[in-house]
Structure 1
Amino acid sequence: MIIQNAPVDPLSDLLEMVHAKPACSVRLEAGGAWSLRFRPQSCKFNAVRKGECWLVVGNDQRHLRAGDCVVIKECAEFVLTSDPALEPVDAALAFGDDALAGRYGVGHDVDLLGGSVTFGPDGASQILDLLPSTLVIEGAATAAAPLGWLLDQLDSEWRSGKAGSRAACDDILRLMFVHALRADFESRGENALGWIGGLSDPPLAAVIRAIHADPARLWRLEDLADVAGQSRSTFAARFRARVGATPVEYATGWRLTIAASRLRAGRESASSIARSIGFLSDSAFGAAFKRKFGVSPGQYRAKAGPRATSEAVLTADPETAAA
């Protein structure tokens, strides 16, 4: 078997760094005239398995059909209903008998699978800021083809009750979430926000991938312009217009995102992390980190919990343990 290095993939990098963890949480069956209000505390992912219904978020109404998938941003209240004119009731009423399998109304006209996606501290905005408040991927869309197959597998696992089915459902939901993000980004193309928009521009995509491939390098504007194959002025203006930050700001931001993830893991001292990602001194690292996250590396690590703090102290070099 030939094993090759995987290509650089900025979206996968970010999902790993922000600790995106989908979890398949509930199934909802409804029929007749019904209307349920949901008040999520995390990013929600829903898929219509059978039938059709309406999604209402604020003043926005969307008709959902079998195969459609929906991503609702964190803490955004929404309603699922047979008729937007109906007054909704708290969704908790549908899950009184079983917290994982809800039933409401008369009959079984609609079947939905729901899940949540949680993120690590300070990580959610890096994904959620790229998304509209309500993302609907229609099952009939070409980009949704993988979602249809995954939805079938998710439904099969949920119904099977076999050993490990919940873990399998979580893994399938993770794939569905990634495909939903990909479908949205591809549909928006040049109109996509932030660095995702940059990935649709080949010269800028080459630069973003280069930064992710070698985050410890002290990238200069001329180095990145060479990667893009453009003059410095043209490249700098194009990158800022598409990504919303200068090339060097993006490179520094990515290095600090890596640093934050490693601080949360709790296996290294702040000094060793700073050296490994290219900062020339602890003070330079501390100042840059505080500008991005509002706290020092030590304070950030302490917020991650006692395990991260204790493990970092145990693994620190004697001369840098106080950093």
Structure 2
Amino acid sequence: MTDPLSDVLTILGARVTRRTRLEASGEWALAFPALDRLKFVALLRGASWIMVEGRPPQRMAAGDVCLLGRTAYAVASDPELPPLDGQALYGTPGCDAVRLGGDDMVSIGGTVAFAEGNAGFLLDMLPDFLFIPKSTAASGAMAAVLALIDGEVGRDLIGGDIISARLADVFVVEAIRAYAASAAQFEIGWLGALADPRLGRALRAIHGDIARPWTVADLAQVAGMSRAAFSAAFTRRVGEPPLAYVRAWRLTMARAALASGEESVASIAGKVGYTSQSAFGHAFRSAFGAAPRAHARS
């Protein structure tokens, strides 16, 4: 059985494309717009607040981490302060570090980008805001990687950029793991489903053999549940019925394969479980608004 998180991150081409640092003292506040990206913010020193629309302000202390989806957000020394345009401060090419008065508070950030058009599948499955406090039981590995990232900044050795980039990629996965471990306890979303022993088995089976003509009964048997109980639990956790999830992942995989331009439409259709190229074309157009061949050319 395939690890679904690894499968999704690999197929979608997820990687940390930019790493930033913020040092600040006194009163300060910065706002950032909503984008199609996954972003992590980790506090190395001091404390700050992070604000996301529709949620109460969240205080962050050293060692705390959050992951942000498409949402706009702000960071500040005080949640009541009017924020400056943070994107403008980091907008100059090569400007990946900002200092506001001092370094009582130090945080690092990373932007996870996806291959063009591929962000939707994962971002639709994740909450817009995931908070992972240092006290989380599964945060030990995350803290170790964070310390390595911070240490690499001051070493100024050859190969530092690629080491920092790889560490940032690992850090994102560790943060998602830590959140998933806590999400399972509260039955939260796709990550909670991955960590659930029964639903996780079904998801691993789907990702391990996406071309199989899955039925709800097949997946319920893998999960060790009745058909009705499995379908209800899967839909509640993941946000869509089991076969809708199978279809969405098949078409997402197909779109990624078409973008590479290395295989024919017929070959890709077969690999993701469509025995008829016309059925594949119809499903693809319904999902993405264009025929597979047109998508491949674009």
Query: TM-score when scaled to structure 2?
Result: 0.88
TM-fit CA distance, 1:136 = 1.8
Greater C-alpha Rg: 1
Distance 2:290 2:91 in 1: 41
- Which residue is 2:8 aligned to? 14
Are positions 1:128 and 2:128 aligned together? no
Does the CA contact (< 8 Å) of 2:181 and 2:192 recur in 1? no
- Which residue is 1:32 aligned to? 26
Cα displacement string for residues 71-105 of structure 1 (whole angstroms, at most 9, x for unaligned residues): 2222x332222222333222334787971221112
| Identity among equivalent pairs (%) | 37
SS in 1 for 2:274: coil
Q: 1:63 aligns with which of 53, 56, 59?
A: 59
Structure 1 gap ranges (5+): 1-6, 304-323
Cα displacement string for residues 209-259 of structure 1 (whole angstroms, at most 9, x for unaligned residues): 222211222223443333234444444444334434333333333222221
Distance 1:224 1:246 in 2: 12
- Which residue is 2:107 aligned to? 112
SS in 2 for 1:142: coil
Residue identity in the other structure for 2:81:
L
TM-fit CA distance, 1:151 = 0.9
Does the CA contact (< 8 Å) of 1:158 and 1:166 recur in 2? no
Distance 1:95 1:255 in 2: 37
Residue identity in the other structure for 1:13:
D
Within 5 Å, give how 1:88-167 maps onto structure 2.
88-91=83-86, 92-93=88-89, 99-105=95-101, 107-167=102-162
TM-fit CA distance, 1:155 = 0.6
Cα displacement string for residues 277-321 of structure 1 (whole angstroms, at most 9, x for unaligned residues): 332221011012222222211122233xxxxxxxxxxxxxxxxxx
- Which residue is 1:4 aligned to? none
Could you list the runs of 4 or more consecutive aligned residues of structure 1 that deviate by over 4 angstroms after TM superposition? 93-98
Residue identity in the other structure for 1:119:
F
Distance 1:77 1:70 in 2: 14
Structure 2 gap ranges (5+): none
Distance 2:118 2:90 in 1: 32
TM-fit CA distance, 1:24 = 4.1
The 1:94–1:121 alpha-carbon spacing in structure 2 relative to 1, beyond 3 Å, is closer
Distance 2:151 2:143 in 1: 12
Superposed CA RMSD in Å reads 2.4
Distance 1:238 1:56 in 2: 31
